[in-house]
Structure 1
Amino acid sequence: MLFLAILTIKSTNIAVGQSIEKIAHIEDPVLQLEAVLQFPANFGKDTIALKNALDPVLKLANKKNNSILKWGYYMRMADGYSIAFDRTNAVSDQYYRLAEQLLQKHPNIELEMIGYARQGYYNYVYRKVKEAFPFFLRANDLKSKIDIKKIPLVVKHYQFIANFYSYIGDHSIAVDYLQEALPFSKAASRERVDLINAIAVYLANDSLNHQAATYFNRAMTEAKLAKDSVWIGIISGNLADQAWKTGDRQKAIALVQKNIDLSMRFNERKDAMRANLNLARWYIVLQEWKLAKQYAVTSISLMEEKPYFLKYKMEASKLLSDIARGLNQKEEELKQLHVYLILKDSLEKRINDKEIQRFLWQRETERYNRTIQSAEEKRLHTKRIYQFVGLCLILVFAIVLLLINRSKAKIKMRNALLEKDRLKLGYEKQLLDQELLILKDSLGEFTNTIKQNDTTIQQLRQEIVKVSVQNPAYMAQVSDSLNAMLQTHIMTDERWLKFKHVFDKVHPGYLAQMKQNYSKITDNDLRILALQKLDLNNSSMSELLCVSTEAIKKAKQRLKKKMELRD
């Protein structure tokens, strides 16, 4: 009969004795946490001793502000209380919750996975399998995301998970965990033997006998290197099963007898019980009835009054019934058959309960997977929404950027045009200023010329008066010069228009404003005003307008009256 050594949470107190001082000086955080997780926690029902023993760990964690050490403290306190109560309890549950809350503040995916594995195994050990199931599912989900080198006590924790999956019948997952843990086990150690043997057992349960035989032989080699007689016996029994299946009956019997001898020598009663039962079954096949009965009775003597032994009691009763039939003992056959049927009914009820439980586990797995899938779909949907919103924002930003650049280009072009217009206006203003300067000079020159001509005309007239009698020929010449000068000096209508054009340029709006303010003034009045603006005297005006000085005076008087009437 194949045998798998089941580890329990009560056996985690191994390699104890590390002092808190030694733990404080360990630099590797994984090794430091491993030391804490192996710190003494089994004080029976004495929870005060438990608190006193683990209190230095909490003080060290607080002193160094080390969340990993504090997490380890919570785990060991949960272990200690589970041992004290010998069942699941509210205090252990509270410490598991504290550890989980701690990881929410200080995320650590490796510790999160191991925390789920430990809490699941805690429920599993005390046969709260339904409650354990979600924790193992969560731990399994995190497996692909963790760095196995950062897992403390990786062999032990992966054994926790493998044992559970084997219990619910999923041996392939159990094998995967143990194969990943195998490189972290110490060569020629009981731990390594246990791992390899467990892998072989799980493979055999899945009818992978050839692979199972390979691992059983590896386990035997490791057990011999470790000089571990207990495991040599256990593995001998497992190899006996393989030999019997292949038809090598003598080898199978020899191996199982070796298993019985070593198990009894080292007080492995359960293993010895299974080996005796197995040997009795084989002797029935060989029709060695007396030997079969001897080993069946020995097997029954090693059984206890516990639910675990119910299946083996039923098998023993069936074997004794077969043996009685072989020995032709009808009464004994009926007696053992009656016991067998009673035990079978009881066991079938338990099996049916287990099948129902497995159905519930399967349904729980499906529901969990649906929840994970739904959460993943929701996450992807949210991610798509964020991506869409992000894309829209990028497009909006790009459009705004293009509009800004376009606006900048327009502003730049407008500024260029404005600058061009400004330069053009500046140039035109410069031309106008130059023209105005020229016109001012021209008008000033005109005024000076008028004044000079007026002086010359007066001189010529005086000279005519002086020489009119003395020199008639010279007088004629002077008179001609005077007439010629008067002709060029007199402001005709044509000259007035040219003069007015220049005057309006130099004094823009002056004449128009006068005409607007004093509506009764005439064009002749405007001429008087223009000449007056140039500071010409009455004499110059009379010569220029070809009228007498008196006429100029009267014209000014009339103009003054018109302006006074306006006021």
Structure 2
Amino acid sequence: MFKFLYFSLLLLGGINVLFSQTIRIDKNLQGRKQIESIILQEKSFGKDTVRLKSYLAPLLKSSDKKLHVVYYNLLATGISKAWDRVNISSDRYYKLSIETAKALHHPGLEIWALVNYGFYLYNYTKIAAALPVYMDADAKINKTDPSQMIFPSLCYKNLGFFFGTIGDRAEAVTYLKKAEQFAGSGYGDLAAIQDNIAFYLIGNSQFAEAEKYLSEAAHNALKIKDNERYAKILGNYGNLSFKKKNYSAAIDYYLKDIQYSRLAKAEKNTMFAQIQLSRALIMNNDIPQARSNLAEAAKYARSKAYYMSFEKDIQELNLQIALKENNVPQELAARRRLSQLDDSLAHLDSQSNLDQSNLLAQKERYTSKLSLANAKYENEQLKTTAFIIIAAILLILIMLIIFINKKQQKNRKIQYEKNVLKLQLDKLSSEQKLSDTHFTLEAMNTYLSEKNLQIERLNKEITRVHKQSDYSALEKQQQKLQRLLDSHLMTDENWLRFKRAFQKEQPDFYNQLIHNFPDLTESNIRIIILLKLGLINQEIASLLGITPEAVKKSKQRLRKKIGSEYDAIFYEI
């Protein structure tokens, strides 16, 4: 009886210690080191937010307001993990953390708070909402000494991940390379950083440098026995092989990726690897195995609402298989599900939204850089004035000439950038109007008319720029106008949308055309349909990126192919 009471008291004491356990504030540490030591004590309490608040309570009771920033941020993170989704409470505490850091005029702490809030939104695929948060962090981090930052590696890394997600791979690599420099402190995960640098380098077709980073990442992941990270590295080796069109090697890497992901119980990465594997298997004509992997990946993709974009990838591959096998029922099922997913994803961050986010990010960053340039210019003005007072007349004249020359160069650059931005926004506006409609033939006709006007304006602007040596040098160096002109060409995606709209509104004509002339190529059909809209040779040439002479030759080949019925077809058109 005595022993039973003794052990009961011990058990109760242990439970009391467990539930009364709180985060420790090391008084021997000061400033950044103290804050980082506290953050490293972060724990997960599952869905028990009461224990979470109790654990973090000493931070809120502290008279040091900087620890209040940490309290609100860690509490917001813990609640988001408990709910496993974006929620009002987490949003409120993250914002309170940022506002408190801002009021303290502590940029390092504010950047850390912003990055964590941005990552929370990014993690739950709220990319559009994360954009202004990350842009705020981006503006502040470039003006802050890393020695003043909280976990600089983590901050740089998360910014790199975000910019990669919205399509700015060059900026992603820049930030991740900065993160690599500080990977030895705090949360610095060297293998993860190097792996992601390689991922974005692969996207930019910088294969040799990507392989170097993958090799270093694999070495570091194996050194710390991080199976999940090693699995992701193997997946990137697969991506590298896939991009080189070595599908057999890609399949081997993806299979190893799945093996290590399962070993690490990383379900999300297993699903992602199965999708990548299926894509390679389809290219290698191993359809049964691809179908099996897609079915398994779909189970996990449907388990969480914010994985809808992964299910869309799966259904697109299922559609690809159905078309390859000419399996009409499977094709219809895949198209039906894709339509449902498109409707659902319209309210989330679809690829089109990511593209818009990327453009908006570039615009905001340009505005920020312009403001910085203006501030720098004003500072230089003051220095120049002070120098003029103590300088000789000759030196004053020299400095004045240099100043005027620089100012003219700067103004030319600003004007050039403004012209490019205006043309970019015109293009985005047309694409947005098309996206907001239901891709009717009328909408496409309006879109193509606007696009032709924009192409004409672009060509005039390029001609004007080339006639002025200073602007010509800018365009030769940056080629922004030429790249924008190239982006106006009709893409395969836009052509398919346009073709579907045409088939929907002109089914009899289209079906009769295909039935009577089965030998027509996709290029022939494209010319016929564009002529249907009344586009002239020059307009068709601008849209397709070819010369008017090439359009004429295409029409001549059409006449030869169709023969005597050529005029009848265009009479019907």
In structure 2, the partner of 1:440 is none
The structure with the larger Rg is: 1
1:396-431 residue CA offsets vs partner (Å, 9 max, x unmatched): xxxxxxxxxxxxxxxxxxxxxxxxxxxxxxxxxxxx
**Which runs of 5 or more structure 1 residues have no equivalent in the other structure?**
1-15, 393-567
Equivalent pairs counted in the alignment come to: 364
Residue-by-residue CA offset, 1:105-144 (whole Å, 9 max, x unaligned): x422222322322233333334443332222112112223
2:145 match:
147
Distance in 1 (CA, whole Å) between partners of 2:151 and 2:183 is 10
Contact 1:233 / 1:262 at 8 angstroms: preserved in 2? yes
User: What residue number does 2:545 align with?
Assistant: none
| Cα distance in 2 between the residues matched to 1:176 and 1:100 | 28
- Residues 233 and 263 in structure 1, CA contact (< 8 A), matched pair in contact too: yes
- Distance verdict in 2 for CA 1:341–1:67, change over 3 Å: same
Shift of 1:81: 4.2
The CA distance in 2 between the partners of 1:241 and 1:147, in whole Å, is 36
2:60 to 58, 61, 65: 58
Aligned with 1:146: secondary structure?
A: coil
What amino acid maps onto 2:183 in structure 1? Answer: S
Over 3 Å counting, the alpha-carbon distance change for 1:385 and 1:242 in structure 2 is closer
> What is the identity, as a one-letter code, of the residue corresponding to 1:220?
A
1:359 is matched with which residue? 356
Which residue identity is paired with 2:149? I
Cα deviation 1:525-567 (Å, max 9, x = unaligned): xxxxxxxxxxxxxxxxxxxxxxxxxxxxxxxxxxxxxxxxxxx
Of 331, 335, 349, the residue aligned with 1:337 is: 331
Q: Distance in 2 between matches of 1:283 and 1:155?
A: 37
Counting only pairs closer than 5 Å after superposition, residues 291-370 of structure 1 correspond to structure 2 as: 291-300=289-298, 303-305=301-303, 306=305, 307-322=308-323, 325=325, 333-346=327-340, 350=345, 354-356=351-353, 358-359=355-356, 362-363=359-360, 366=363, 369-370=366-367
- Does residue 204 (structure 1) correspond to residue 202 (structure 2)? The answer is yes
Which of residues 204, 217, 220 is equivalent to 2:218? 220
Counterpart in 1 of 2:121? 123
Q: 1:27 aligns with which of 26, 29, 33?
A: 29
Aligned ranges 1:2-81 → 2 under 5 Å:
23-40=25-42, 42-44=44-46, 46-59=48-61, 61-62=62-63, 66-81=64-79
1:362-414 alpha-carbon deviations (Å, 9 max, x no partner):
3465357537745875897799799999x99xxxxxxxxxxxxxxxxxxxxxx
Q: Distance in 2 between matches of 1:215 and 1:343?
A: 39
Partners of 1:122 and 1:170 lie apart in 2 by: 20
The one-letter amino acid of 1:134's match is P
CA contact (8 A) 1:263 1:272 kept: yes
What is the rounded CA distance, in whole Å, between the counterparts of 2:40 and 2:188 in structure 1?
A: 17
1:87 maps to 2:86: yes
What SS does structure 2 have at the residue aligned with 1:23? coil
Determine the C-alpha separation between the residues in 2 that align with 1:371 and 1:261: 46
1:231-270 aligned at under 5 Å gives the runs 231-246=229-244, 248-270=246-268
| Change beyond 3 A, Cα 1:209–1:181 | same
Identity, % of aligned positions: 22
Closer/same/farther in 2, CA of residues 58 and 314 from structure 1, 3 Å limit: same
Equivalences for 1:272-291 in 2 at 5 Å? 272-291=270-289
- Look up the SS of the partner of 2:29 in the other structure: coil
Secondary structure at the residue paired with 1:24? coil
For residue 133 of structure 2, what is the amino acid of its counterpart? F
**TM superposition shift of 1:334:** 0.9
- Other-structure match for 1:112: 110
- Report the secondary structure of 1:140's partner residue: helix
How far apart, in 2, do the equivalents of 1:99 and 1:291 lie?
49
Write the deviation string for residues 222-246 of structure 1: whole angstroms up to 9, x where unpaired: 2222233333333223212323444
Give 1:396-475 correspondences, 5 Å limit: none
CA RMSD of aligned residues (A): 4.1
Q: Deviations 1:10-69 (Å, cap 9, x if unpaired)?
A: xxxxxx99986853244253221112223446445554433322221233x31xxx3433
CA gap of 1:68–1:19, structure 2 versus 1, over 3 A, is farther
TM-score, normalised on structure 1? 0.54
> Conserved in 2, the CA contact under 8 Å of 1:100 and 1:115?
no
